[in-house]
């Protein structure tokens, strides 16, 4: 039996070929001109810096004149950045002619007078005769006084004895601590007749123990002390 071959007529519909999409024409981006600094900006920055400087100066003047220990009669001050022994940064200020140490300012006189007159002189400058509280302060004063004068010299300090009890007292009411004193060997020898204390300096000796009791009427130089000003 012969195989019959069947033919089927197949018609294909016309298919549309995809049309390639055309991108929209690129719009030309106008180039921006470089920004020009405004003329008033530098003037504004300069004015702000000037105002800041003026504010700092005014602050310094106000602080120095508000009872930080020294009166406003001093025309010139000297300030140094930093406080020895402190990690915080301050400007420590003392009058010209005074020497800073830690939080205080110190003055050495070139003239001499009695103990009472010496204390009045220091008080008139807004200070008092020096009160020595620590070994570091004693060493500082000893080293400083040796560089000022080459010969032997004695200074009144703010330690005196009461007439009746012969009890030693500091001018600022700091408690007297016998273990924190620097008397010469054998001193004080006569606290009932020699009721004031001198700080004796000799360029050839390095002895830390240099306090001596003397009559208060003795005419000596003096060391004044006042609190420094800080900003």
State the Cα–Cα distance between residues 188 and 170, nearest whole angstrom: 15
Is 153 part of a structural domain of the chain?
yes
Is 37 part of a structural domain of the chain?
no
Is 137 part of a structural domain of the chain?
yes
* Mean per-residue pLDDT over the chain, rounded: 79
How do beta strands 221-227 and 104-108 pair?
antiparallel
**Arithmetic mean of pLDDT, 210-221:** 96
pLDDT at 213 over 50: yes
Round to the nearest angstrom and report the end-to-end CA distance of the chain: 125
Is 129 part of a structural domain of the chain?
yes
Percent of the chain with pLDDT over 70: 68
pLDDT at 33 over 70: no
Instruction: Give the 3-state secondary structure of residue 90.
Output: coil
Is 20 part of a structural domain of the chain?
no
The highest-confidence range among 73-87, 142-156, 169-183, 195-209, by mean pLDDT, is 169-183
pLDDT digits (tens, 9 = 90+) for 2-17: 444 444 444 444 444 4
Q: For the domain that residue 97 is a member of, what is the CATH number?
A: 3.10.100.10
How do beta strands 153-161 and 104-108 pair?
unpaired
Give the chain as a 3 state SS string. CCCCCCCCCCCCCCCCCCCCCCCCCCCCCCCCCCCCCCCHHHHHHHHHHHHHHHHHHHHHHHHHCCCCCCCCCCCCEEEEECCCCCCCCCEEEEECCCEEECCEEEEECCCCECHHHHHHHHHHCCCEECCCCCHHHHHHHHHHHHHHCCCCEEEEEEEEECCCCCCEEECCCCCCCHHHCCECCCCCCCCCCCCEEEEEECCCCCCCCCEEEECCCCCEEEEEEEECEEC
Is 149 part of a structural domain of the chain?
yes
Predicted confidence band of residue 86 (pLDDT cuts 50, 70, 90)? low
Q: Pick the range with the lowest mean pLDDT from 35-44, 122-131, 172-181.
A: 35-44
Predicted confidence band of residue 46 (pLDDT cuts 50, 70, 90)? confident
pLDDT at 43 over 60: yes
CA atoms within 13 A on the CB side of 32: 3
Locate 13 and state its tokens. Answer: 């519909």
**Arithmetic mean of pLDDT, 156-179:** 89
Range of the domain at 204: 57-230
pTM of the model: 0.68
pLDDT at 181 over 70: yes
Is 146 part of a structural domain of the chain?
yes
Backbone angles phi, psi at 165, to 5 degrees: -90, -10
Domain count, the chain: 1
Is 200 part of a structural domain of the chain?
yes
């Amino acid at each position: 039996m012969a195989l019959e071959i069947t033919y089927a007529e197949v018609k294909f519909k016309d298919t549309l070929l995809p049309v390639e999409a055309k991108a929209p024409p690129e719009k030309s981006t106008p180039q921006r001109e470089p920004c020009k600094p405004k003329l008033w900006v530098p003037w504004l920055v300069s004015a702000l810096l000037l105002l800041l400087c003026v504010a700092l100066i005014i602050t310094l003047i106000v602080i120095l004149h508000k009872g930080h220990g020294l009166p406003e009669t001093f025309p010139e001050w000297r300030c140094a950045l930093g406080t020895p022994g402190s990690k915080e940064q301050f400007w420590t200020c003392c009058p010209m002619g005074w020497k800073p140490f830690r939080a205080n300012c110190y003055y050495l006189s070139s003239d001499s007078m009695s103990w009472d007159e010496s204390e009045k002189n220091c008080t008139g400058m807004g200070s008092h005769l020096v009160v020595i509280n620590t070994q570091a302060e004693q060493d500082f004063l000893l080293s400083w006084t040796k560089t000022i004068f080459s010969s032997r010299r004695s200074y009144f300090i703010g330690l005196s004895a009461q007439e009746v009890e012969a009890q030693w007292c500091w001018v600022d009411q700091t408690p007297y601590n016998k273990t924190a004193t620097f008397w010469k060997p054998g001193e004080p020898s006569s606290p009932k007749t020699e009721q004031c204390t001198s700080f004796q300096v000799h360029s050839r000796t390095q002895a830390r123990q240099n306090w001596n009791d003397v009559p208060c009427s003795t005419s000596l130089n003096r060391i004044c002390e006042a609190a420094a000003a800080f900003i």
